[in-house]
Chain A
Amino acid sequence: MTIKYFAATAASAACLAAPALAEVDFAGKTIEWVIPFSETGGSAKWANFFAPLLSEELPGNPTVVVKFMPGAGSTKGANWFQEQEHDEGTVLFGTSGSTQFPYLLDDPRVRYEYSDWKPVMASGTGGVAYLNPSDGEKFDGTANNLKDVNFIYGSQGATRLDLVPLLAWEMLGMNVEPVFGIKGRGDGRLMFERGEATIDYQTSSSYLGASADLVEKGQAVPMMTWGALDEGGNIVRDPTFPDILTFKEVCEATEGCATEGEAWDAWKAFFIAGFPVQKIAFLPAGTPDDVIETYTAAFDAVRNREDFAQIAEKRVGKYPVFVGEGAAKATQRGTTVSAEAKAFVTNWLQEAYGVSLK
C-alpha cells in the first residue's frame, strides 16, 4: 500500500504545485483568441465554448475574447498569425481542418508553416455517413450492393473536409456525384431531406442534433463513421457511435476496397487532419516554455473539470481534448502527410473533379 500511496501523493502534490510554480500571470490582461473564420462557423462555436473556461483557469483570470479574421478560406488569418511574435502570450490562434487541408495540399495562398507554431490544445470530432431509406436497405455492412446505384451528394468542395467522404465512397466503388457549392453541411442535410441528395454525412454533433432524428423516423439509414484514433494511431469505433461500423470495417468487407496501399494511406492521412485532430489552438512561434506550460496547465484544468464531459457533449461533442505533449503529437499527425499520399490526392482531385490548386 505504502509505495502506491506515496506515488499517488507525490503525483497529486506535483499537480497541485504545478500552477503555483508558473510565474506567468495574466491579471488585468486581455487575451485575443483569433479564429480565421467568420463568426458563424464551427470554429467560432468551438472557441466561444472554450474561451470563458480558459479565462477561469489561467492565472490572473484574464479576459479571453474571440476575434474573427475570415478570408481566403482561413489562409488569410493563418498567414497573419505566421507573422506574429511572442508578446506576453496574449495572442492565441485557432485552426481547423479547413486551415490544415490547404497547407497539406500546397495551396498557393499558404504562407504559413505549422511546425513553427506552438500547439497547446487540440480537439477532434467524428463524422457519420448515412443513406436514404431505399438504398439503405441494400446496405449489408458492405458496399457491394451499392456499386450500381447513382448517388447525389451536396458538397462544399472537393478540397475541403468533403475530400474525406468523397474519397471513401470512391474507394468503396460507389458512384457518388457531388453537387458543389453549398455553404455548410446543414445545407447538405437539407438537400438530403428534400430528397435532392441521396447520401450525406455530418460531423458528430450535427448528426446528433438533426440527422439522428431522421434515422429515428426511418428517413435515413446510418452507413458508417469515419472512426476514431486510439493511442497507437489505429482507427477504432467512434466512441460516440459504438454501434455504427467504421469505414475501415466496411472497406475490409467490400470487394475491391483495400485498407492498405496508397489510396488508403492518403485517405487516412486526410481523415486524421480533418477529424480526430480537427481543431488546434496555437501560440505564436518563439513563445517561451513557461507561457506554453501555463496554457497547457490551464487547458488541462479545463478538460479535467468535473462537468466537462457534460457541458462539452452538447456544444462541441464527446471527443478527447489533447493538451501539452498530446497536443503536440496530435498536431504532428494532423499536419503531415507523406509525399505519396499528397501526390495521390492531388492527382485524384484533378482527375475526378478537375480541381487543381495552382
Chain B
Amino acid sequence: MDLFATALPALGQAWALILQPIVLGYLVLGVVMGLAVGVFPGLGGIAGLSLLLPFMFGMDPVLGLALMIGMVAVVPTSDTFASVLMGIPGSSASQATVLDGFPMAKKGQAARALSAAFTSSLFGGLVGAAFLTLFIVVARPIVLSFGLPEMLMISILGLSMVAVLAGRVALKGLAAAGLGLLIGTIGEADAGGSLRMATYDIPYLTDGLKLVIVGLGIFAVPEIVSLLRQDRAISKEAKLGAGWGEGVRDWVANKWLSVRCSLIGVVVGVIPGLGGSVVDWIAYGHAVQTTKDKSNFGKGEVRGVIGPESSNNAKEGGGLVPTLLFGIPGSGSMAIFIGAIALLGSGEIEVGPSMLRDNLDITYSIVWLLALANVVGTLLCIAASGGIAKLTTIRFTYLAPFLFMLISFAAFQSGQNFEDILALFLIGLIGIFLRRFDWSRPAFLIGFVLSNPVEKFSNQAFQIASFRFRKSFEEGMDYIFSPIVIVLLIITVVSVVLGLRQAKSIMAEGDVQSGSKRAPLVFLLIIMGYVVAALINASLIPDYNMTDKIVPLVVGGIALAALLILLVQMILRPERDPIFADKEVSGEDADAPYGLWSTLAWFVGLIVATYFVGFILALLGFLISFLRVRAQAHWPKTLILTACGIALMCVMAGALNRDFPPGLLQGAVDLPWPLN
C-alpha cells in the first residue's frame, strides 16, 4: 500500500511538471516535427529522434522529454496516412492497417478510414496511459514472469494469425508464411553465426533483410504497380464518399473492440524483446474473430482498421515499461530515447530499476506526456485528414513517380546500401506475384516478422529447458509449462481452429478468378525451388551449430510439404479451381491498359540510372521522362512537378542529415551536395 502512498503525490507532481505553458509548447513542437517526419514511409521515430539528439545535451529534463515524447508518440499515428492512402506500411506498427484501410481508400472512404484510425489511436493512447499509471508501480515482477517460453508462445500466437489470414486455400497461406519465415532467416544466424543463403562475398546478405524493405516490397510495390497500370485515381469514383465524421461514429459503434485491442496493445508492449511487431496482427486477428459478418475483411471493413490502430498507440505506452524500469529498449526509437535521457540536464535521470524509486514523478510525466502528445497529434491528424484524403482522387499516374521516389529513398535509409533498393525491387517482385496468384501477403509478412523471434526464443528456451531437465524432470516441466504458457497455448489453439474455419470468407485480395494452369504452376515451382535451395543450404551447416539449422530445416520442411500437396492438387484439379487464382485472368489487372512489365520497367529504369549516376540525377531524368512520356504532361507541368519532387527530397535529406544513394559517377568525380 505504501507504494500507492508515494504514487499519488508523484502523480500530482508529474501533472504540475507537465502543465506548464513552456512544457506544452515543447510538446506541440515535438508533435509537429514528429508528424512531418512520420508521414514519410520508412523514416519514423529513429530519424526524427536522431535529429533532436544534438540539442538534448544539458537541456532541462522536462523540456527535453516533452520534445522527444511529442515526436515519438505521433509516429504510429501519422504513419497511418501512408498505410491508408497509398497502401504503404509506414512502419511495423501499421502493417495490419493496410489490409482494410487501403481498400477503404479505394472505395472513396479514405477520410472515414483515417478518422476512424485516428480516433482509435487517440483512445488507445489514453487507455495505455491510464493502464500504465496503475500498472507501472507493480509491473516489475509481472514483467519478470515472462521468460523465454512465454515469449516464444506469444510469437507463436502471432504466427497463428496466419490461419486467419491464409486466404481461400489454407495451404497456400501456410506456404507463404513458411516462405516468409525462410526469407527471414537469410544472413548470419544470431546464435552460432552460420550463414544461411548468404556469403561473406556479399556482405549485404549477411545482415539479413530489413523489415522496412520487406514491408514496402510486399505491400507498397504491388499496389503502386497495379494502380499505375490501371491509370486511374486510388479512389474508384475519383471522389470522396464518406467524411471524417462517419469515421468517428464508426469508432463509437465499435468502442469495446477498441478497448480490448488497446489492452492487447499495452500488455504485449510491456513484454521486452517482442516490441511492436506482433501487436497489430494479434489485434487484427482479434477484430476478425469477434466480428459476426466477416465477409468484408480485406475489402474495407472498418473494424479491421479500428483494431490494429487502437493497439499500436497503446503499445507505445506499454513499451515504456521495459524501457524505463529495466533500461531495455522495446524498439529502436526507445533505444535512442534512453541514450538521449542520459544527455538531459546533468544526467540525473537514470533509466533502469532506480527510476521508480528516485524519479517516480518523471516516470509519470513521461507516461502522461505520451498520452497528451497522442491527443494533440490525433487532433492535428483528424483536422488534416479531409484535405490529405483528396490525394486519393488524383490521377494515380501523377502520384506514382513520387511514390517510387519515396520508397526508394526509404529503402536506402534502412541500410545506406545500393543493394537496399535492389532488394526492394526483388521483394517487390515476390509481392507482385504473391498478389497475382492470391498467395496471402499478410501471411508472408507475419512469417518474415516473426522469423527472428521464433528462432531465437525457441533455441534459447530449448537450451535452458534442457538445462533444467538435467537438474530434475519437475523443474523442466515447471519451466516449460508455466501457467502463462498454458493460457497462451489455449488461446493459440482456439485462434487457429476458429481462424481456419473463418479464413475462407476473408479474401484479402478480393475475389480472384481462376484461369489457366500454367502461370500459377510455374510460380509454385519457383517458390519450391527456393525452398529446396534453402533446405539444402541449411542442411550443409555443420551439426555442432544445430541452433542455426534446426529452424530453417523444420520450417522449410513444412513449407515444402505444403507445396508438394499443392502441386499434386494442381495436377489433379480442373482449371476453374480456386487454387489457380490469377489476377491476370479477369478483373482490374487483366483489363488494365498497361502491361506489368512495361510499368515495372520504369522502376527498373530509376534503379539502373541510380546505379550509374546517383539518386538525384537519376531521379531528375526519371521524373521528367515519366511525366512527359507516361503521364503525357505538358512541359511546364512536368518541370514544376519534377522541381517539387527533387526539392522535397533535398529538404528531407538535408534536414535529417541523410545521404542519397551514390552511383558509379559519384565514385569517379567529386560532386557537390545533393548530387554526391
Stretch of A233-241, A267-275, A308-316 on the interface side: A308-316
CA distance A188 to B638 in the complex (A): 56
Q: Per a CB cutoff under 8 Å, which of A180, A186, A353 touches B326? A: A186
Instruction: Take A76-B203, A314-B350, A355-B193 as given contacts and tell me if A177 and B463 are in contact as well, using a CB distance cutoff of 8 Å.
Output: yes
Chain B residues whose C-beta falls within 8 Å of the C-beta of A214 in the assembled complex: 353
Q: Would you give the 0/1 interface string for A32-43, flagging 1 where the beta carbon is closer than 8 Å to chain B?
A: 000000111100
Q: Which of A9-17, A47-55, A122-130, A257-265 contacts B (4 or more CB under 8 A)?
A: A47-55
Cross-interface CB contact of A311 among B54, B200, B347, B464, cutoff 8 Å: B347
Contact B54 A65 (CB under 8 A): yes
Work out how many contacts link A and B, with CB atoms closer than 8 A: 137
The distance in angstroms between the C-alpha atoms of A68 and B326, with both chains bound, is: 25
Interface status of B261 (Cβ within 8 A of chain A): no
Q: Please give, as numbers and ranges, the residues of chain B lying within 8 Å of A196 by CB-CB distance.
A: 147-148, 464
Stretch of B218-226, B539-547, B623-631 lying at the A interface: B539-547
**CB-defined contacts of B144 to chain A, threshold 8 Å:** 190, 193-194
**Alpha-carbon distance between A181 and B457 when the two chains are bound, in angstroms:** 9
Whole-angstrom CA separation of A67 from B328 in the bound complex? 23
Across the interface, do A187 and B353 meet the contact criterion of CB distance under 8 Å?
no
| Chain B residues with CB under 8 A of A109 | 200, 203, 206
Known A40-B335, A186-B327, A209-B352; judge A180-B657 contact (CB<8 A).
no
Please determine whether B329 and A40 come into contact, CB atoms closer than 8 angstroms: yes
B54 touches A315 (CB 8 A): no
Q: Which of A89-108 contact B (CB under 8 A)?
A: 108
Minimum distance in angstroms from A129 CB to a CB of chain B: 19
Instruction: Name A67-92 residues within 8 Å CB distance of B.
Output: 67-73, 75-76
Q: 8 Å CB contacts to A: which residues of B542-569? A: 542, 544-545, 547
Q: Taking each of A189, A206, A209, which has the highest tally of chain B beta carbons within 10 Å of its own beta carbon?
A: A209
Residue of A nearest to B414 (CB): A70
Min CB–CB distance B362 → chain A (angstroms): 15
The proximity string for B residues 207-238 relative to A, scoring 1 for CB distances below 8 Å and 0 otherwise, is 10000000000000000000000000000000
Are B416 and A69 in contact, with the CB atoms below 8 A?
Answer: yes
CA gap between A355 and B148 in the complex, in Å: 24
**Residue contact B200 to A108, C-beta cutoff 8 Å:** yes
- A181 engages B354 (CB within 8 Å): no
Contacts of A108 in B (CB 8 A): 200
Query: Which residue on chain A has the smallest CB distance to residue B670?
Result: A87
Cβ-defined contact, B352 with A181, below 8 A: no
Docked Cα-Cα span, A186 to B324, in Å, equals 12
Q: Is there a chain A Cβ closer than 8 Å to B467's Cβ?
A: yes
Residues of A contacting B200 with CB < 8 Å? 108-109
User: In the complex, how many angstroms separate the beta carbon of B100 from the nearest chain A beta carbon?
Assistant: 32
The CA of A327 and the CA of B215, in the complex, are separated in Å by 44
Cβ contact of A39, chosen from B189, B193, B332, B347, cutoff 8 A: B332
B415 engages A52 (CB within 8 Å): no
Judge whether B53 and A187 touch: CB under 8 Å.
no
B401-439 vs A, Cβ < 8 Å mask (1 yes, 0 no): 000000000000001110000000000000000000000
Shortest A218–chain B CB gap in Å is 14
User: What's the minimum C-beta distance from A185 to chain B, rounded to whole angstroms?
Assistant: 10
Interface check B646, CB cutoff 8 A: no
Stretch at the interface among B16-24, B121-129, B338-346, B612-620: B338-346
CB distance from A346 to the nearest CB of B (A): 14
Is B594 on the interface with A (CB-CB < 8 A)? Answer: no
Contact A213 B460 (CB under 8 A): no
Q: How far is the CA of A134 from the CA of B657 in the complex (A)?
A: 51
Bound: A40/B334 CA distance, A: 8
Cβ of A179 < 8 Å from any Cβ of B?
yes
**If the complex has contacts A109-B203, A181-B459, are A315 and B347 also in contact, measured as CB distance less than 8 A?**
yes
A99 CB, nearest partner CB in chain B, Å: 14
Task: Please determine whether B339 and A210 come into contact, CB atoms closer than 8 angstroms.
Answer: no
State whether the Cβ of B278 lies closer than 8 Å to any Cβ in chain A: no
Cα of A48 to Cα of B203 in the assembled complex, Å: 27
B7 within 8 Å of A (CB atoms) = no
Closest A residue to B46 by CB, please name it.
A39
In the bound complex, how far is the Cα of B546 from the Cα of A353, in angstroms? 11
In angstroms, Cα B53 to Cα A75, docked, is: 25
CB–CB B190/A180 < 8 A: yes
Task: Choose among B46, B467, B542 the residue with the greatest number of A CB atoms under 10 Å from its CB.
Answer: B467
Find B460's partner among A181, A313, A314 (CB 8 Å cutoff).
A181
Assuming the contacts A181-B460, A209-B352, asked whether A49 and B467 have C-beta atoms less than 8 A apart, the reply is no
* Contact between chains at A152 and B467 (CB < 8 Å): yes
Whether A181 pairs with B343 at a CB distance below 8 angstroms is no
Which residues in chain B, 449-472, are within 8 Å of chain A measured between CB atoms?
A: 456, 459-460, 463-464, 467, 470
Interface centre among A52, A183, A310, A354 (most CB of B within 10 A): A354
CB distance from B535 to the nearest CB of A (A): 21
Tell yes or no: A66 within 8 A of B by CB.
yes
Q: B204 to nearest A CB, angstroms?
A: 8
Q: Is the CB of B352 within 8 A of A354?
A: no
| Contact A45–B342 (Cβ < 8 Å) | yes
Interface centre among A67, A159, A194 (most CB of B within 10 A): A194
Chain A residues with CB under 8 Å of B657's CB are 65, 67
Residue B57, interface by CB 8 Å: yes
Contact of A355 among B192, B204, B353, B464 (CB under 8 A): B192
As a 0/1 sequence over residues 263 to 300 of chain B, the CB contacts with chain A under 8 angstroms (1 = contact) are: 00000000011000000000000000000000000000
**Least distance between B198 CB and chain A CB atoms (Å):** 11
- B353: A residues at CB distance < 8 A: 210, 213-214
Q: Which of B338-390 contact A (CB under 8 A)?
A: 339-340, 342-343, 346-348, 350-354
Chain A residues with CB under 8 A of B57: 52
Residues of B within 8 A of A157 (CB): 190-191, 193
Q: Across the two chains, which residue of chain B brings its CB closest to A150?
A: B467
Known interface pairs A179-B460, A184-B328; 20 further A-B residue pairs with C-beta atoms within 8 A, sorted by A's residue number:
A39-B46, A39-B50, A39-B335, A40-B332, A40-B336, A48-B343, A109-B206, A150-B467, A152-B464, A180-B190, A186-B326, A186-B329, A187-B328, A196-B147, A196-B464, A210-B326, A213-B353, A314-B347, A315-B343, A355-B192
A: which residues have CB within 8 A of B?
Answer: 38-41, 44-45, 48-49, 51-52, 65-73, 75-76, 108-109, 150, 152, 154, 157, 159, 177, 179-184, 186-187, 189-191, 193-194, 196, 206, 209-210, 213-214, 310-311, 313-315, 353-355
List 8 A-B pairs, Cβ < 8 Å: A40-B332, A75-B203, A109-B203, A184-B328, A193-B144, A311-B346, A354-B545, A355-B193
- Pairs of residues from A and B, 4 with the lowest C-beta to C-beta distance, nearest first: A40-B335, A354-B544, A314-B347, A181-B190
